[in-house]
Amino acid sequence: MAGSRATGDPLALASGVPFKALTPIDGIAMLARVLQTLRSTTSIARIVVCGLSEADAGDLTGTHGDDGPTVEFASGDRTPGASAARAIATLGLEPPILITTADHPLLTPKTLQAFCERAITADVTFGLVPAGIVRAAFPGIRRTAYKFRDGGFCGCNLYALLTPTGCEAPAFWASVEAHRKRPWRLIGMLGYGTMVRFFLGRLALADLTGLVFSHTGLRVRPVLLSDPAAGFDVDTAEQRNVAEAFLHERAAAERTAGVGREIAPSTR
């Protein structure tokens, strides 16, 4: 999902690019980073960029000269859910379908593969990561958290549509997207009693699957991930700067680990 606001995105304006998806993170467009992650993940067989044209994306998509699936493009719609529903219908996409977003530049092939491998036995699965580890990794950066009896969780912008019924979920999601940043309103759509339990801290994450099924007929299941970066997307200039710092720290840690592996045999 690579669509932008019709009136101009603040992050795109702050970054000097025409579309949010092209915002550079440490010199590389967010879209290019996400596409490279997708192309490096063994579970991914086809890639469709929705909401951005090939002409607008330019040469940032990695469609030439690299291993992995080529990149296709599809027109977007007024909201992410409506855009996904339109792409599925227009291209005749069949499950399993992964949906992620272009503003997810810290996503790694390892985390994405872990999500894909665990996305089973449901119509729809969605990625979550404990809010505590996201706050610890990105202190001072506010993230939307869903608070349940068994803890708080941040969304990961990772969704898997696993059945024909699941492929109908984006159309339903389009009708509730106005509330996606207000967890209490989303919970409230499952009934007054559910919202009361949520506010009283008595609603467990596991309760959600039965409640959604009873109201929508969808079998949904969360996939819990342990990578804090999976719960971090980039919507603001501040978050862009934090993402760049995180990438530098992660690269330094990987270099240190590599040196450790290289010198280990000679120290025995």
Q: What is the pLDDT along the chain (268 residues), one digit of tens a residue?
A: 998 766 678 999 999 999 999 999 999 999 999 999 999 999 999 999 999 999 999 877 655 445 778 899 999 988 888 899 999 999 999 999 999 999 999 999 999 999 999 999 999 999 999 999 999 999 988 888 888 888 999 999 999 999 999 999 898 777 666 555 555 555 556 666 666 666 667 788 888 788 777 777 889 999 999 999 999 999 999 999 999 999 999 999 988 887 666 665 544 4
pLDDT at 136: 95
Measured CA to CA in angstroms, residue 92 lies from 7, 74, 76, 83, 247 at distances of 30, 12, 15, 14, 36
pLDDT at 90: 94
pLDDT at 58: 85
Whether 131 is in a domain gets the answer yes
Whether 255 is in a domain gets the answer no
Whether 260 is in a domain gets the answer no
Whether 55 is in a domain gets the answer yes
pLDDT at 262: 60
pLDDT at 188: 56
pLDDT at 208: 79
Whether 133 is in a domain gets the answer yes
Measured CA to CA in angstroms, residue 138 lies from 25, 79, 110, 115, 231 at distances of 16, 28, 20, 21, 10
The CATH number of the domain where 128 resides is what? 3.90.550.10
Asked whether 21 and 30 are in contact (CB, 8 A), the reply is yes
Question: Phi and psi of 9, rounded to 5°?
Answer: -90, 135
Asked whether 124 and 172 are in contact (CB, 8 A), the reply is no
Whether 251 is in a domain gets the answer no
The encoded tokens of residue 180 equal 């996606």
pLDDT at 205: 85
**What's the domain range around 157?**
10-233
Whether 257 is in a domain gets the answer no
Whether 147 is in a domain gets the answer yes
Number of domains the chain is built from: 1
Closest residue by Cα to residue 83 from 183, 91, 242, 225: 91
